[in-house]
């Protein structure tokens, strides 16, 4: 028995060798970046006018999320089954005050640190005609704003 309370025998050495090989693998897996879990998407109108015919398109998969009307200073969201965020590029188009506007392709940046709770991706429409996007923890969004 050594000073740490472990006894070594020929039979036990194989186990220790296996642990010696497994330890770096466990360390590498532990150091991988955690996946952010996404549970929904939302649109936030930061303007004083309604926004119509909003369409968000995921470029890689061609999936589309749309909303026909968001009131001035309004918010719309929907929940989806929990999934890992894949960082695909998206493109947004909308009708603002009679003009059809379209963003270029962009990715929503993963926050640092990565949130530990599920998030909702929120696209924000600015009065200047541009969009921005953020991830908001689901718990920070009032329940009445979350459609099921």
Per DSSP, the residues of 94-117 read EEETTEEEEPPPB-PPPPSSPPSS
CATH topology of domain 37-145: Immunoglobulin-like (2.60.40)
Q: Does the pLDDT at position 34 exceed 60? A: yes
Which residue intervals of the chain bear CATH 2.60.40.2890? 37-145
Give the list of residues 6+ apart from residue 133 with CB closer than 8 angstroms, or none.
Answer: 90, 106, 108, 109, 121, 122, 123, 124
Query: How many C-beta atoms surround the C-beta of residue 54 within 10 A?
Result: 22
pTM of structure: 0.73
* Strand ordering across the sheet containing 37-45: 75-84, 37-45, 119-125, 131-137
Average pLDDT of every residue of the chain: 80
pLDDT tens, residue by residue, 60-109? 999 999 999 999 999 998 888 999 999 999 999 999 999 999 999 999 99
Region 25-40: what's the mean pLDDT?
Answer: 60
Residue 6 or residue 81, greater confidence? 81
């Amino acid at each position: 028995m050594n000073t740490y309370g472990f006894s070594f025998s020929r039979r036990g050495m194989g186990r220790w060798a296996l642990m010696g090989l497994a330890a770096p693998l466990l360390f590498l897996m532990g150091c991988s970046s955690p996946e952010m879990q996404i549970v929904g998407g939302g649109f936030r109108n930061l303007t004083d006018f309604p926004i119509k015919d909003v369409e968000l398109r995921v470029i890689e998969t061609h999936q589309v999320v749309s909303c026909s009307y968001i009131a001035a200073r309004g918010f719309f969201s929907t929940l989806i089954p929990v999934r890992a965020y894949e960082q695909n590029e998206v493109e947004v188009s909308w009708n603002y005050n009679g003009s059809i506007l379209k963003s270029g392709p962009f990715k929503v940046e993963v926050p640092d640190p990565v949130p530990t709770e599920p998030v909702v991706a929120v696209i924000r429409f600015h009065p200047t005609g541009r969009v921005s996007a953020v991830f908001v923890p689901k718990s920070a969004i009032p329940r009445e704003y979350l459609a099921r």
